[in-house]
Amino acid sequence: MSDLFRAIPSMSAVLEALAAPPEALAAPCALLRASVPQPLLRECVERFLNARRDDIRAGRIASPGELALDALLPGIVAYARKAARPHLRRVLNATGVVIHTNLGRSPLAEEAAKAAYEAALHYSNLEFDLETGGRGSRHSHVDALIRRLTGAEGALAVNNNAAAVLLVLDSLCKDREVVVSRGELVEIGGSFRIPEVMAKSGCILREAGATNRTRLADYSAAITDETAALMKVHTSNFRIIGFTESVPRAELAALAHERGLLCIEDLGSGALLPLPGADEPTAARVVAAGVDLICFSGDKLLGGPQAGIIAGRADLVERIKTNPLARALRIDKLTLAALEATLRLCLDPELAKTRLPVQAMLRTDEKTLARRAARLAGLLRRELPELSVTVLPGVSRAGGGAMPEQDLPTRLVRLRPPRTGPDALRAALLESDPPLVCRVEDDALCLDPRTLENGEFPLVASALKQALARVT
Ligand SMILES: *Cc1c(COP(=O)(O)O)cnc(C)c1O
């Protein structure tokens, strides 16, 4: 056994071999050297060699030849690549949920990603006025675009929509009452609850109406001398159906103004372009209805980076900008660059529909999806003949609190693996590189082509191959 222990190569021998590898390992070793910091690489090698010592003690290694540097090197490279890869990684989204909060919501348009890349690598006029050579405002880069796209007089972008709601309420309604319908006291997930955000902002929630029905008279009755605003909140992730009633926003705004109050609306997803078949109001329609201030997310239906957009009356936006909290919640320069590029695409709706991935995915028609599903199925049948592959109609979802409960018809590629269940395969796919996230329905693994790019189909096949090798 001591011969075996002595046969284990030294750390320095391994590091030297990784620096000057045999031809067959040249490419993966170059990748390792470029992407893995030296201390992490050393740690990986150490753990790998310790595992071989355990193998010797357990009798899993019989001859010194198995421990030769040449024999171990491919394993070391594979181990280090896996163990030292970045924690935040690309995944393949085959769930069909377009705005998937857990998977990073909106993939950016290429234009937006490039803008962020430029802003990241170089200095910029972030807060520098190129006309005067003096100090400029970080808000100047997107406010005209937001005003133009929403029809509002004033605009401001902050860290995310939760921050926008908090900032609006803190700036305009602190220590006063805000009336919200009981049907709109939503929890968005990740602990964003309207009543709690209100409490944090220091305003007092006044509930109006009942869960399923709120009338104008209910709002009216809830107004007191302490009231600052009437607020509407998008019921992003649920729908109350049956015996229901809510107040059209134009009537709510009229009531607010009659009583000298503000009308505020948290649009949640906030569509800038009308979506076919969806009853999401566009931001411009909400502003035109007389709502004083709206806010919505940058990375839901808008299809941009994480951001919160506030638009509305210029005097209110000015008050919000001077709130010290605005500094704490301010938008980052990379986000700002990506947001500006996204908004510029939105100026031309035809361009936005194809260039913004979220818009394009939501608009992909059934015929196209059927064709793409057939292509993916064909590829998988060729590459993985042991899988049973069928294509059946199914539904995708918008996600991100947009269009809740609305089915988007799609075609699902359904897979049944041999010798194991779909749940085991789904779990194994998370360990593939890149990981593949999908759902199991009716005892089959389902891949929805809506949220996969055509260029990702070979990666799907490769992820499945890796996973099948692990489970069967
Ligand atoms: C998503 C959502 C939020 C939170 O937006 P983030 O951008 O995730 O911070 C707030 N309100 C509503 C109605 C939402 O749908």
Nearest protein CA to atom 15 of ligand 1, as residue: 268
Cβ contacts of 101 within 8 Å, gap of 6 or more: 189, 190, 399, 400
Nearest protein CA to atom 1 of ligand 1, as residue: 268
**161 CA → ligand 1 middle, Å:** 5
**174 CA → ligand 1 middle, Å:** 20
Per-residue pLDDT of the chain (472 residues; tens, 9 = 90+): 788 999 999 999 999 999 999 999 999 999 998 989 999 999 999 999 999 999 999 999 989 999 999 999 999 999 998 888 889 999 999 999 999 999 999 999 999 999 999 999 999 999 999 999 999 999 999 999 999 999 999 999 999 999 999 999 999 999 999 999 999 998 877 678 888 888 899 999 999 999 889 999 999 999 999 999 999 999 877 777 888 888 899 999 999 999 999 999 999 988 999 887 777 789 999 999 999 999 999 999 999 999 999 999 999 999 999 999 999 999 999 999 999 999 999 999 999 999 999 999 999 999 999 999 999 999 999 999 999 999 999 999 998 877 766 889 999 999 999 889 999 999 999 999 999 999 999 999 999 999 999 899 999 999 999 999 998 7
Mean pLDDT of the chain: 94
> Which residues are paired to 135 by β-bridges?
128
Q: Read off the pLDDT of residues 411-444 as tens digits, 9 standing for 90 and up.
A: 999 999 988 999 999 999 999 999 999 999 999 9
**296 CA → ligand 1 middle, Å:** 7
Strands 408-416 and 444-447: antiparallel
**269 CA → ligand 1 middle, Å:** 7
Give the integer Cα–Cα distance in Å for 461 and 383. Answer: 7
**350 CA → ligand 1 middle, Å:** 26
Report whether residue 160 contacts ligand 1, using a CB cutoff of 6 Å: yes
Report whether residue 335 contacts ligand 1, using a CB cutoff of 6 Å: no
Taking the CA of residue 400 as reference, the ligand 1 atom at the shortest distance is 1
Q: What angle do CA 452, 453, 455 make, to 5 degrees?
A: 125
Report whether residue 308 contacts ligand 1, using a CB cutoff of 6 Å: yes
Dihedrals φ, ψ of 436, to 5°?
-115, 125
Please give the model's pTM, rounded to 2 decimal places: 0.93
> Which residues are paired to 106 by β-bridges?
none
Nearest protein CA to atom 5 of ligand 1, as residue: 161
Report whether residue 451 contacts ligand 1, using a CB cutoff of 6 Å: no
Distances (CA, A) of 180 to 86, 215, 225, 289: 44, 12, 16, 18
Quick one: tokens of 199?
A: 């409490």
DSSP letter at 270 equals -
**322 CA → ligand 1 middle, Å:** 23
**192 CA → ligand 1 middle, Å:** 8
Report whether residue 297 contacts ligand 1, using a CB cutoff of 6 Å: yes
Report whether residue 106 contacts ligand 1, using a CB cutoff of 6 Å: no
Report whether residue 449 contacts ligand 1, using a CB cutoff of 6 Å: no
Taking the CA of residue 236 as reference, the ligand 1 atom at the shortest distance is 15
Give the integer Cα–Cα distance in Å for 468 and 314. Answer: 58
DSSP-derived 3-state class of residue 127: coil
Q: Read off the pLDDT of residues 31-90 as tens digits, 9 standing for 90 and up.
A: 998 989 999 999 999 999 999 999 999 999 989 999 999 999 999 999 998 888 889 999
To test the pocket of ligand 1, the residue of 100, 159, 166, 266 to mutate (highest count of ligand atoms within 8 Å of its CB) is 266
Taking the CA of residue 190 as reference, the ligand 1 atom at the shortest distance is 8
**275 CA → ligand 1 middle, Å:** 19
Dihedrals φ, ψ of 205, to 5°?
-80, 130
Nearest protein CA to atom 12 of ligand 1, as residue: 268
**188 CA → ligand 1 middle, Å:** 6
